[in-house]
A = this chain, B = another copy of it.
């Protein structure tokens, strides 16, 4: 087996250089990566073809094969992503606070890179470049562990990043890759708390749960999105219909898609038949509580388990509630604290919902689908955190930094 600890140490040591790299240097690196991706796109698609044929032989599903595919078009998108990151302002060095204390000390709170970041992800090989570009721009080094199906593609992509590092005179160990299908390598990586500052897992709920349980390195989990839309009695029902339809149907496989609809009992009889018809037209399966079933007769009964579930599919759970309080209680209890929206004409109910819902993003009169780094104005994102520590919601460059206190004295000692 490859020596995971040795690679973690290399990434740690390289971070001592990267954390002091200038913005100009880091952008030169990203430009070089973009250039190499362009000139070596043929080798990338070749490596990807080998991964795909091996995956086909082993019987990978069509959905996973699609995720694994790195077409010319996707390579172009990946390059555009790197170019976007070049354009983002460098967060490192920002002075967040500056205080002169009675002791005479000048205390500055400065944004600095986190250091060495572990990233564990599944099928999609574009993550190798997307995540690495963001980490490097924020002055971090990375230890990557991708899905075993993508191992040839990822090896090639990491090779390209290493060439670019070498060409601009930065340590090639700023990016290391665990190029082994051996699952023990992941367990080993989770024990590198001496060398890695954080692990960011991206993938299935099962993968993330495993990592959270086993890791002695701090984890920033990108959990599931059991997102809700609550349609209040005072809602503009046409607007509500558009929002619910968009939140459910526009891209059902992503974490900010709505999975549940809560409807105020006063408007249930008017609203539910309309939205049901609209959703049916998009082949959405409806699962309702007993009140819903009495209005929409082709809905399936929802089980207790349904209220907790993230379908990531064309399925919607529907429940009738008696007021905004019951909606809030339901969402805080069953939700995953990702993104939830109220559609209402009542300002007070709206503000109450925003205040009391314990989620990363809470909306009045908009689709939950807006929770992402681009829409929120952070630029590219490395993911969406559903935990509360360090980063909550879309994680951009700033969330890939930490702080340090720089203190200027003139001989002060503590009395």
Contacts and interface: CB of A to CB of B under 8 A. Distances in A.
A239 interface: yes
Nearest to A363: B407
Query: DSSP class of A's interface residues: helix, strand, loop or mixed?
Result: mixed
Interface string A182-208: 000000000001000110000000000
A365 B103 contact: no
Given A218-B219, A365-B411, A366-B411, A354 B406 contact: yes
Given A101-B375, A250-B413, A365 B402 contact: no
Of the four ranges (under 10, 10 to 19, 20 to 34, 35 or more), the interface on chain A belongs to 35 or more
Contacts of A265: none
A137 interface: no
Contact of A107 (B114, B377, B403): B377
A43 interface: no
A173 to B, nearest CB: 16
Interface string A382-402: 000001111011000000001
A364 interface: yes
A243 B407 CA distance: 14
A64 interface: no
A301 to B, nearest CB: 26
A409 B364 contact: yes
A107 B365 contact: no
Interface of A: 16, 19-20, 99, 101, 103, 105, 107, 114-115, 193, 197-198, 212-213, 216, 218-220, 236, 239, 242-243, 245-247, 250-251, 332, 354-356, 358-367, 369-371, 375-377, 387-390, 392-393, 402-414
